[in-house]
Chains A and B, each alone.
Chain A
Amino acid sequence: MSLSPLLLCVLALLDASLAGFRDAAGRNPLLFKRRYQILANIRGLLVGAGMVSIGIFSFLIALWLSPTPWALLNAYLKAGQAMCWVYGSYAMVALLSLSVYLSSRPEISSLATVLILGPFTLARPLVILAGALYGIWVSPQLPIIITISLGAGLLMGIGPLLNLWKLNPRTLEEQSAECRASSILS
């Protein structure tokens, strides 16, 4: 049994968590804000979980409505494997760069940012599109096209949605309170 659906879900959740971080970054001018950043990751993760649920729901509905569910499931798995290659490669390079960034001296960290982390953020929508198109190209069936398009759209929309919903605190007072609140995350 292919693990690609599970891997896609994990990658989507990871992406959502990082989207939460990006939404919070550049808004809080305090210095000691680890708790604020972790909570931003969690908020992204929760929104991502909602989106993944929508994707899973559409997948299950498609299987339920299909006259040949096993054949459709196989086609889904084939598409999922193809998408995993694109998204998995992107995620692996990004995570490796992030680990270099977090563990090195400033010059090497800056290089990881300049070469990978910055460009990869900018390339993210294109990578989402490329993975989706590859999945559709491998299994060009209407239910699969709908599920993949829905998933890609949700992934693309997570940043704008987090911004629109203002889940991360915007005012200095709220940010300061979140940074200071006592918790194991502090």
Chain B
Amino acid sequence: MDQFPPEISDLIVSYDPVTLARQPVMRDEVVARFRKLNRSHAAKIVAAMPIDEQGNLCPVEVDKLLIRVHAEIQRLSEEFQQGHRIKALLQPMLSVLRAEGVASPYRIVDVGCGPGYMVRWLAAFGDLGDDVELIGADYNVALIEHARRLAELESLPCHFEVANAFQLTTPGTIYYSIGVIHHFRGDGLQQFFASQEQPMTQAWMHFDIKSSWLAPMGAWLFHRARMREPLARHDGVLSAIRAHPSETLLDAAKSGAPGFARMLFDEDESWLPIWKVMHAVVGVRPALVPGLLKAMGGEVQRLTGGDLS
């Protein structure tokens, strides 16, 4: 039994797992669920959301809210320069794929991309090469349409699909996500990693808030200081509470995706964990590991743990 309550954004949208069609969500049911979990603040936030005649949360309004929330999340990613962290891993990984003769184009897929900030950032500033395709996948049609519009406005070479990222017609060569893995728990987390066991997939990296005693406090502070939307403030703090410890991530990756060598990126083991607020669990095909370590150069010490120990 998971002791961590769900985030508001987990419950105010629902999709058919097969068709990905949006399903109606009864506001009163969500409110009742949060009340049952003693999450009165979350219940209050949901209770204020507009509904249609049947009592379902109005999808258009929910999507508008999610777009505003994601803009605020993007602001935090900009401030913490998240793009540079991913770039620091992606560039050496791509150079290894090229050196090992893995067939291009290399499809880099953002899992649960929302409005595609990181995909667009990589398209603009990633310097990843012409043999790379950048793809963002998400279930939410409105967020994907928004991502497409944003990419079009700035003429960025990337594209977005309303899809399960792990069931694309052509699978990804590299999968990554940011702030997604804490939404998966228990068997779901293991299944998340298992979904990447595809022949064409060479590597994956999933970034999230680093779980620590200080993380919830830091998340509270930053979400109070930087966010406006009550939902963003609520879910941001809960994300830090729900962030998985590194060992949980490595164990789930080991059982879910045994075909990959696992490691951690930007792990911070200090007693005051403020140096690295984000970390990533990384998986690479074992044959690529020596090349990756070499390609990382002076940054190689940022990779630790797991199968590197």
Contact = CB atoms under 8 A, between A and B. Distances in A.
A complexed with B: yes
Given A29-B117, A31-B154, A113 B80 contact: yes
Contacts of B75: 25-26
B226 A26 contact: yes
A26 B228 contact: yes
Contacts, number: 68
Main secondary structure of the interface of A (DSSP, over half): helix
Interface in A92-111: 105-107, 109-111
B274 A176 contact: no
Contact of B224 (A26, A109, A111, A122): A122
Contacts of B125: 31
Main secondary structure of the interface of B (DSSP, over half): helix
Interface string A114-125: 110111011000
For chain A, the bracket of interface size reads 20 to 34
A29 B74 contact: yes
Contacts of A27: 68, 71
Contact of B227 (A26, A105, A114): A26
A172 interface: yes
Interface string A23-38: 0011111111000000
Contacts of B225: 118-119, 121-122
B275 A118 contact: no
Contacts of B67: 29
Given A26-B72, A26-B75, A113-B79, A106 B84 contact: yes
A31 B149 contact: no
B222 interface: yes
A30 B222 contact: no
A136 B223 CA distance: 33
Interface string B58-98: 00000000011011101100011100110000000000000
A66 B225 CA distance: 42
B192 interface: no
Interface string B163-179: 00000000000000000
B285 interface: no
Instruction: Give the residue among B68, B81, B85, B115 with the most A Cβ atoms within 10 A.
Output: B81
Given A118-B226, A122-B225, A26 B74 contact: yes
Contacts of B154: 30-32
B119 to A, nearest CB: 11
B124 A31 contact: yes
Contacts of A32: 124, 154
B221 interface: yes
Given A29-B117, A30-B154, A121-B225, A110 B149 contact: no
Interface in B144-192: 146, 149-150, 153-154, 156
B276 interface: yes
B120 interface: yes
A110 B150 CA distance: 26
19 contacts: A25-B75, A26-B226, A26-B228, A29-B67, A29-B115, A29-B150, A30-B153, A30-B154, A31-B156, A32-B124, A106-B81, A110-B81, A111-B274, A113-B79, A114-B218, A114-B274, A122-B221, A172-B153, A176-B153
Interface of A: 25-32, 105-107, 109-111, 113-115, 117-119, 121-122, 172, 176
Given A106-B80, A109-B81, 19 more contacts: A25-B226, A26-B228, A27-B68, A29-B67, A29-B74, A29-B115, A30-B153, A31-B120, A31-B121, A31-B156, A32-B154, A106-B81, A106-B85, A111-B275, A113-B79, A114-B218, A121-B225, A122-B225, A172-B153
